[in-house]
Amino acid sequence: IILEEQIQQLPEEDEETKVLAAQLQQIRADKQKREGVEKSLKEKLAKILQRVDEVDATVEPLIESTVRSKHKKKRSKKQPKLTLTTEEQINVLTDAVNEFDRDILPQLGDISEQSQQGEVQLSSLLAGRERAQEIADACKVGFFGHRISPN
């Protein structure tokens, strides 16, 4: 704002003043565009990370994973014992793996690319992407029979 006030005090007909005013307008437009991109990416990221939490809550009873210890989730003593058959457990894990591989991880990759192109820093992107990959990997381990909980 101080720069704008200084430019307004310069002679309006001066070519340098016109150039400075145009540059200032361009800087403002670029800033607004960047802020719009940042807001959009943050909203997309928040939705995807919410979905990661939802899928994680669904598969958490099915997998024994170090992901829980890294992300403050501990199994409550009050949680009911799982009553799914092995086939149902496999179906839940398969659905989760498919969602991570087909939807969540590619969307996180797209957001990463867009943030790099727009030079936007998203502090939770890397951690969210790593967490999603860890949960997907834990589901795959569970799917292949190594950690599926008993009926």
Chunked into runs of 10 residues, the chain (151 residues) has average pLDDT values of 73 80 88 93 96 92 54 52 75 91 96 91 92 91 55 39
pLDDT (0 to 100) of residue 114? 93
Is there a domain that residue 26 lies in? no
Q: Which residues contact 119 (CB under 8 A, 6 or more apart)?
A: 34
Is there a domain that residue 27 lies in? no
What is the rounded CA–CA span in Å between residue 38 and residue 123? 11
pLDDT (0 to 100) of residue 140? 84
Is there a domain that residue 50 lies in? yes
Is there a domain that residue 116 lies in? yes
Is there a domain that residue 7 lies in? no
For residues 67 and 52, the answer to whether their CB atoms sit within 8 Å is: no
pLDDT (0 to 100) of residue 67? 40
The total of structural domains in the chain comes to 1
Is there a domain that residue 67 lies in? yes
pLDDT (0 to 100) of residue 145? 54
Range of the domain at 93: 40-143
Is there a domain that residue 128 lies in? yes
Q: How far is CA 149 from the centre of its chain?
A: 29
What is the rounded CA–CA span in Å between residue 49 and residue 34? 22
